[in-house]
Amino acid sequence: MTGDVSALQLVLSGDPGLFAIVRLSLLISLSAVLFAGLIGVPVGAFIALTLFPGREGVIVVLNALMGLPPVVVGLAVFLALSRSGPLGSWGLLFTPQAMVIAQTVLVAPIIAALTRQTIEDLWVEYRDELAAMNIGPAGRVATLVWDARFSLVTALLAGFGRAAAEVGAIIVVGGNIEGFTRTMTTAIALETSKGDLPLAIGLGIVLIFIVILINALAWAARRAGERTAG
Amino acid sequence: MFNRRILLAALALGIAAAAPASAQEKSIVVSSTTSTQDSGLFGYILPLFKSKTGIDVKVVSQGTGQALDTGRRGDADVVFVHAKSQEEKFVADGFGVKRFPVMYNDFVLIGPKSDPAGIKGSKDVGTALKTIMAKGAPFISRGDKSGTHSAEINLWKASGVDIEKEKGPWYKSIGQGMGAALNTASASSAYVLADRGTWISFKNRGDLIIAVEGDKRLFNQYGVMLVNPAKHPKVKKDFGQLFVDWLVSPEGQKAIANYKINGEQLFYPNASDAGA
Amino acid sequence: MSMHAPSHDLPLMFVEAGILAGEVTILDNISLTLNAGAPTVLIGPNGAGKTTLLRAAMGLIPVTHGRITWGGNETAAPARRAFVFQRPAMLRRSTEGNVHYALAAAGVPHGQRYDRAAELLTLVGLDGFGSRPARRLSGGEQQRVALARALARDPAVLFLDEPTASLDPHATKAIEDIVSNVAARGVKVVMSTHDLGQAKRLAGDLVLLHRGRLIESGPAAQFFADPRTEEASKFIAGELLI
């Protein structure tokens, strides 16, 4: 990419460099949301449905973790994945996988906390009916997660928004390597530091547009689903 | 639903894993400075190196201090920075194999067109800095332990100022990269020390101009080192050494000399100067 | 719905059963036997313990004193019991989906669920409602979905907690017709109400509760014609029991 053309022009002309950056951004953030969902939804559901000592404390901590500073997550994952760190032998530092890991760590608490709230509310509503139908613990979780799926989409979207917007974690663990670990947000940070503010703003507009598009798609899916399930 | 999810997860894993697997075969990680990256030098010379050797060079650009630390932790295969004394310490501590001088560019003292310190056109950077301090003209320091930052500290020292003790509200340490420092200077009409390469390719100059240039003390030497495989066995020493060798070879040196912006040469190869 | 042999859930016996919540007595020393046959209707003022008695009979809450036995057993697996709550919660699914869920929970094989669901929806008068989201139905319609869900369990005993409490007369009539229909098919209905008229219309046996205690129980005709206790007389006369 050269700095003289605006990002919007690059989009319109199908610039392959920009396309690769957008593609990588989406791949990383969507993968992170997927993994964070696979972790966060069951954990949130478990906390919602289980009484154990210290549960209130866990909920407070989980809610607080929603505000984890990305750069702290980045640093922690960096230290873990560094060749001098405990997971150094994986050789993942400065790779897209490291970025997925960092964003998963960042997003999982958000999804878990919102899932916990959603499932707990629905559980209060369903509790008697499920007991009367003699539904066991596993079936309970499956039913609540399935019936709350449209609300859980909102939790996943919140996670995606957070992942797609953050730069602090992925720039530390990804290294912003051109053509390899450069995403929209790290490119924006770089172009800002190079003083190419129009390109940075252009990239920012592309980023916002994509986030809006994904939210719109998810919203449409949610509305369509609600029409049949209520 | 769960089957579909697992499928998706597997798919995402597959994609994420496949992307680097092909590139990881022949690639090295080079930790370098923001100045080499932001100036566009790598964008010009790395494709030449790749077409010759087939090796992908992944550049993580950081301040010199952080770049050396990345090497120290073994997270890079090659370190390519500009702070000679720190580089020599890096090698002496056993983290680098051997330091090779590669090239130099120079620093320029940037300031607002209005020139509140009245130093424009001076050839003596020491006097210029003392004037800035005397007049309390705003000055932006990188403050990030980068090569440029340590060059700035050395310049204050050479002009007889202990900047840590004598700095006032006019001296703002921002702890960020070269581009951010220039953006800040541009927005606040301040003086700032910059490497010429970043300055030439910097786009958001606003009212900034070169106030002082050409002083020998503004000389900025770059060195390259292979991270010591004895400390970090995972270092890709063969590919890394190939890159180091290429940079100091006649071919690499020529590539560096050929990189120009607006007809202006940014870096001057000097691998043959053993004392550099 | 299939007819079935008398269930092992009956007779359902409360033996000196009591429930305490902390210091508060909710049910006090209840001894009561529920046999197969016409519906048993629980009456009594609000707070008398009707809902708690129904839930305990379903096995949803344990007794703190005495015991409850189902066909002589103290194990409470509610395989052949079903419950319609006063304000039933609709699952966030279609009307049909709600019934399918209950059929699946009752272990009805997948292949039979479509026919059974259609049958049940016809029984409760919700033909053509199958694809509507259950949560968007009216209160009376939701009550009928809850009935269909309960009947999906092919219950031997069906508990109904104030099934018409907030319904208009038209919807009440519809529910009462379904209850009579179900009872006629051999399902033991145990329900609570504070509508005396409803008790007269549906009850085979009556149980009067007051302040957690069983005041009087027996055949409905005798209860209304010749109440044995002062509380029963007052209640029938429409006076407040305090």
Which CATH number is correct for B106-218, 3.40.50.720, 3.40.50.1980, 3.30.930.10, 3.40.190.10? Answer: 3.40.190.10
In chain A, residues 17-46 whose CB comes closer than 8 Å to chain C: none
Most A CBs within 10 A among C54, C87, C92, C103, hence the mutation to make, goes to C92
Q: Is the pLDDT of residue A34 over 50?
A: yes
Average pLDDT over chain C, rounded to an integer: 90
CATH topology match: B2-104+221-269 vs B106-218: yes
- The token duo for A13 is 């002309």
Higher per-residue pLDDT: A8 or A215: A215
For residues A139-166, average pLDDT: 92
**Residue A149: its chain B contacts at CB < 8 A?**
1
C1 has pLDDT over 50:
no
The nearest CA of chain C is from the CA of A147 a distance in Å of 6
Q: What confidence tier does A6 reach under pLDDT thresholds 50, 70, 90?
A: low
What confidence tier does C76 reach under pLDDT thresholds 50, 70, 90? low
The better pLDDT of the pair C202, A191 is held by C202
Q: Are B60 and B31 in contact (CB under 8 A)?
A: yes
- pLDDT, tens digit, for every residue of A41-98? 999 999 999 999 999 999 999 999 999 999 999 999 999 999 888 998 898 999 999 9
Q: What is residue A73's predicted lDDT score, i.e. its pLDDT?
A: 95
Residue B98 confidence (pLDDT) above 90: yes
Point out the residue among B1, B16, B179 whose CB comes nearest to the CB of A192.
Answer: B179
Q: Which CATH code of 3.40.190.290, 3.20.20.100, 3.40.50.300, 3.40.190.10 fits the domain covering B2-104+221-269? A: 3.40.190.10
List residues of chain B with CB under 8 Å from any CB of chain A. Answer: 1, 5, 8-9, 12-13, 15-17, 19-20, 23-24, 29, 34, 38, 42-43, 56, 58-61, 73-75, 176-180, 182-183, 186, 198, 201-205, 232, 234
**Alpha-carbon gap: A230 to the closest alpha carbon of chain C (Å):** 5
Tell whether the model's pLDDT for residue B18 goes beyond 60: no
pLDDT the model gives residue A10: 63
Interface test with A, best of B44, B176, B204, B208 (most A CBs within 10 A): B204
Whether residue B132 has pLDDT greater than 80: yes
Assess contact for B63 and B35: CB atoms under 8 A.
Answer: no
pLDDT band at B17 (very low <50, low <70, confident <90, very high): very low
What domains are defined for chain A? 7-222 (1.10.3720.10)
Reduce the secondary structure of chain B to three states and give it as a string.
CHHHHHHHHHHHHHHHHHHHHHHHCCEEEEEEEHHHHHCCHHHHHHHHHHHHHCCEEEEEEECHHHHHHHHHCCCCCEEEECCHHHHHHHHHCCCEEEEEEEEEEEEEEEEECCCCCCCCCCCCHHHHHHHHHHHCCCEEECCCCCHHHHHHHHHHHHCCCCHHHHCCCCEEECCCCHHHHHHHHHHHCCEEEEEHHHHHHCCCCCCEEEEECCCHHHEEEEEEEEECCCCCCCCCHHHHHHHHHHHHCHHHHHHHHHCEECCEECCEECCCCCCC
A230 and C153 within 8 Å at the Cβ level: the answer is no
Which chains does chain C touch, 3 or more C-beta pairs < 8 A?
Answer: A
> Model pTM?
0.80
Check pLDDT > 60 for residue A2.
no
Report how far apart the first and last C-alpha atoms of chain A are (Å, whole number): 48
Residue A5: which pLDDT band, with cuts at 50, 70 and 90? Answer: low
pLDDT of residue B2: 43
pLDDT digits (tens, 9 = 90+) for C18-70: 998 888 889 998 999 998 899 999 999 888 899 999 999 998 999 999 999 98
What pLDDT score does C40 carry? Answer: 95
pLDDT at residue B146 is higher than 50: yes
Q: Which residue of C has its CA nearest to A142?
A: C101
Which tokens sit at B227? Answer: 């991270």
pLDDT of residue B75: 94
- Out of A83, A146, A197, the one facing B75 most closely (by C-beta) is A83
- Tokens representing B79? 């370190």
Identify the pLDDT of residue C241: 77
| C92:A229 CB<8 A | yes
Name the minimum distance, in Å, from the CA of C35 to any CA of chain A: 21
With cut-offs at 50, 70 and 90, classify the pLDDT of residue C138: very high
ipTM value for the complex: 0.88
Q: Where are the domains of chain B?
A: 2-104+221-269, 106-218
